[in-house]
């Protein structure tokens, strides 16, 4: 009988062979860890065999590591998570990745890095070198050997560091002198991944440290309110996360979060939103409402690829409304009071707003661009009654069930018999085999693909992003990601019927669109 160790080893070997074959067949080299990230280097993942192989390798390697390490060491890899977070935040805020990019592949001495970053070289050196728990307990000079052991940055020579594929993800692409001259604009006009990393290393991390206090306090232990969260304790806040972002002294966090949403989108394949629904099946001039759509990153892809539909992007005044201009007034892209969404659309697709193909709708203050709708928030009646599709991308997971039910109810009351509802969040799988699956309903995509034995059914760490999202929703909003069964029951209670779950295994997506129709 094959041991678990050997089974895992065999899975790794066979999957590595399959991965290298897939790359060779497509004439795509497997990217080196020592080279900076580029979108082109990810092309091999479009091959389903290659994507499956990477998931199996990652899941098996991690499971094998946990099995062979002493249990104390395996546990401390988790216990030490706060040190990893702290070290990464120092490097992100100090623009270490940008400094190393300008320093070149030969690397820079830690004293030179620290001089450019204006921080202590001994403390920084320790953070860069190790990123492994056994050295984080030592003092300054040795405590700084922390990130390279986890393959974030590369130690080229003693105390000399360079970027690698992982650390380059924190690169804003900006010059160091530009960041120093205007640190509050560090993330402006960037791809957004560094911004979302900053959000997680800041608000999310600080909030997570109060999770136990929130769960053990009788006044908040069972709360489903978005203003009784670990975030509220961490920031001494009485309102919600959105209240925090709306405060005048939180303008940097607000802008960073908005830009970071583009970074989240970048974690998905560029065409992911196009696979969420058969958009080309919609008749010309069909109305798609992007509910809580932020700056409209998802809608931009739709507008570019499905030009015959009309799109309404709805969001809060802090995102859409501040600085908007009266309806029917000619808009100058250089207008100093234009907010991020308008600047975003003028840069990416300037004709969309002027033509009426896209509308940005403030959900609270009755201000819109181009054609007019009554303002609303999504807990009150939805004003658009002729929508062909209501699209909610990473919205439902922000709200606990009582509030999610209110949103779905308002949309159902505004829906036509043929309106489609598309919810895009992480549909949570179990770590074990789920014998109940979709309870025999035969809903396409409801049953996830399971990993081969002896791996965890959910592919373990290869699918960890879904669980990170789930815990993020808990500490910020008292909410969660949901299973298929949970979603189906909630939809049914509000007059919707779950009809499909779209699982794009080839793309390695951590988001799974769910399609529903009105119950007639």
| Residue numbers annotated as active site | 397
CA 193-194-197 angle, to 5 degrees, is 85
> Could you tell me how many helices (H) and strands (E) the chain has, helices first?
22, 10
Residues 6+ apart with CB under 8 A from 113: 96, 99, 100, 103, 121, 124, 128, 161
Rounded CA-CA distance 473/457 in Å is: 23
183, 252 Cβ separation under 8 angstroms: no
Residues 6+ apart with CB under 8 A from 435: none
Distances in whole angstroms, Cα of residue 72 to Cα of each of 20, 135, 287: 35, 15, 56
Distances in whole angstroms, Cα of residue 438 to Cα of each of 116, 391, 451: 56, 23, 18
Distances in whole angstroms, Cα of residue 262 to Cα of each of 298, 484, 516: 9, 26, 26
477, 226 Cβ separation under 8 angstroms: yes
Q: Is 141 helix (H, G, I), strand (E, B) or coil?
A: helix
CA nearest 84: which of 138, 24, 148? 148
Q: Are strands 160-162 and 108-109 parallel, antiparallel or unpaired?
A: antiparallel
CA 232-238-241 angle, to 5 degrees, is 55
Residues 6+ apart with CB under 8 A from 43: 26, 28
What phi and psi values does residue 237 have, to the nearest 5 degrees?
-110, 140
Residues 6+ apart with CB under 8 A from 261: 192, 196, 294, 295, 297
State the distance between the two ends of the chain, measured CA to CA, in whole angstroms.
55
Output the six-digit token pair for 289: 């409402």
In 409-505, DSSP assigns E strands to 420-425, 496-501
Output the six-digit token pair for 275: 């696979």
Rounded CA-CA distance 69/71 in Å is: 6
Give me the sign of the Cα torsion angle 416, 422, 428, 429.
positive
């Amino acid at each position: 009988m094959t041991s678990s160790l050997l089974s895992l080893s065999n899975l790794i070997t066979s999957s590595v062979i399959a991965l290298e074959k897939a790359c060779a067949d497509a004439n795509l080299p497997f990217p080196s860890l020592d080279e900076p990230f580029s979108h082109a280097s990810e092309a091999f993942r479009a091959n389903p065999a290659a994507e499956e192989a990477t998931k199996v390798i990652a899941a098996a390697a991690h499971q094998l590591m946990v099995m062979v390490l002493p249990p104390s060491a395996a546990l401390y890899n988790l216990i030490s998570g706060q040190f990893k977070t702290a070290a990464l935040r120092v490097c992100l805020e100090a623009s270490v990745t940008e400094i190393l990019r300008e320093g070149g592949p030969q690397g820079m001495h830690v004293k030179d890095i620290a001089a450019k970053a204006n921080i202590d070289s001994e403390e920084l050196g320790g953070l860069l070198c190790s990123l492994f728990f056994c050295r984080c307990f030592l003092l300054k000079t040795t405590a700084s050997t922390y990130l390279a052991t986890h393959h974030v940055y590369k130690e080229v020579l003693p105390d000399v560091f360079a970027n690698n594929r992982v650390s380059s993800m924190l690169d804003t692409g900006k010059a160091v002198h530009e960041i120093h001259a205007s640190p509050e604009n560090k993330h402006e006009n960037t791809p957004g991944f560094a911004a979302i990393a900053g959000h997680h290393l800041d608000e999310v991390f600080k909030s997570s440290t109060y999770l136990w206090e929130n769960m053990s306090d009788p006044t908040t232990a069972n709360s489903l309110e978005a203003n009784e969260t670990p975030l509220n304790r961490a920031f001494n806040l009485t309102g919600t996360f959105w209240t925090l972002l709306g405060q005048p002294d939180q303008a940097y966090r607000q802008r960073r979060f908005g830009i970071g949403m583009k970074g989240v989108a970048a974690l998905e394949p560029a065409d992911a939103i196009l696979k969420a629904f058969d958009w080309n099946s919609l008749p010309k001039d069909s109305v798609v409402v992007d509910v809580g759509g932020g700056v409209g990153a998802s809608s931009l892809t739709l507008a570019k690829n499905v030009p015959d539909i009309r799109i309404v992007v709805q969001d809060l005044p802090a995102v859409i409304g501040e600085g908007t201009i009266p309806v029917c007034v000619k808009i100058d892209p250089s207008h100093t009071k234009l907010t991020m969404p308008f600047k975003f659309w003028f840069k990416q697709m300037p004709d969309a707003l002027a033509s009426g193909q896209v509308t940005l709708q403030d959900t609270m203050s009755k201000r819109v661009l181009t054609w007019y709708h009554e303002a609303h928030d999504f807990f009150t009646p939805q004003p658009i009654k002729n929508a062909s599709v209501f699209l909610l991308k990473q919205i439902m997971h922000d709200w606990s069930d009582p509030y999610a039910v209110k949103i779905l109810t308002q949309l159902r009351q505004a829906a036509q018999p043929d309106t489609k509802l598309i919810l895009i969040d992480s549909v949570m799988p179990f770590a074990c085999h789920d014998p109940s699956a979709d309870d025999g309903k035969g809903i396409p995509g409801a049953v996830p693909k399971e990993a081969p034995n002896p791996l965890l059914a959910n592919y373990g760490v290869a699918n960890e992003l879904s669980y990170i999202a789930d815990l993020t929703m808990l500490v910020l909003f008292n909410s969660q990601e949901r299973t298929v069964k949970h979603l189906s029951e909630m939809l049914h209670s509000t007059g919707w019927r779950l009809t499909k779950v779209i699982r794009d295994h080839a793309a390695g997506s951590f988001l799974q669109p769910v399609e529903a129709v009105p119950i007639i």
